[in-house]
Amino acid sequence: MGAPIAYERSGPIARIRLDDGKANAMSVPWFEALTAAFDRAEAEGAAAVLLSGRNGFFSGGLDLRLLQTLSPEGLRSLADTLARSVLRVFASSLPTVAAIGGHAIAGGAVLAMACDVRFATVGAYRLQLNEVAIGIPMPTWMAMVAASAVPSHRLSEALLHARAFSPDEALALGIVSALGGQSEETETLAQAAAGALAGLSRAAYAESKRRLRGPVVERALEGLAAEGG
């Protein structure tokens, strides 16, 4: 298995693929690689970003084995890195499309929600913010990102009740735009959406997203500082 995060260009589209051969568990180096890939896409003048996982897993969230080894300071640092990395995606000047080929849980779910458009794959998969279920108060920044993707009347279920949504439920709620029968079909749908978004004015898109999400990111970072990561 190569690098857990791979970058390639497909015409105007930057493709960032998450694949560690397992659950795409997140760590500080993982986030650093993700951020570097987004920096590269913007620096190279890509017109859109397609973010995809492996067959069966978009990402299962933070590496649980790693969490058990960290000191309180290390845990705070990891939580801060998670927040800033996802907010980096959320605020990217480029159109972002997620191809969810399997489970998207906790950090994986909010990373998918940070993208502008999402597509999922039919199957016994979960899209779940499970923080409350495992004893972690929902961070303000995470709630704010989720609120951009989850309908307001279902936020309590998603954020407070740790509700696991199936792909069909996510589609019915508008959390995802369409479903692919297999992960390859999901990526085809996402590729087409990224291609369409790539045809929009990059300058207008970037400024419009800044106006839409800039104030949200500022408040999210304020909450992050107040809550200590």
* Per-residue model confidence as pLDDT tens digits over 207-227: 999 999 999 999 999 999 998
Q: Which residues contact 92 (CB under 8 A, 6 or more apart)?
A: 38, 42, 49, 209
What's residue 63's pLDDT? 83
Residue 91's domain spans which residues?
5-227
Q: So what's the pLDDT on residue 67? A: 78
- Positions of the chain with pLDDT under 50: 1
CA distance 191 to 11: 11
Total of domains in the chain: 1
C-alpha 71/C-alpha 197 separation (Å) is 43
CATH (domain of 174): 3.90.226.10
Told to judge if 185 belongs to the known catalytic residues of this protein, a careful annotator would answer: no
CA 185 to chain centre: 19
- Token couple for 160: 């407070």
- Tell me what pLDDT residue 166 has: 98
Options 131, 169, 187, 227, the catalytic residue:
131
Find, among 172, 124, 133, the residue nearest to 151 by Cα: 172
Residue with tokens 């845990």: 75
Torsion of CA 225, 49, 19, 143, to 10 degrees: 30
pLDDT of residue 229: 66
Residue 1: the pLDDT is 44
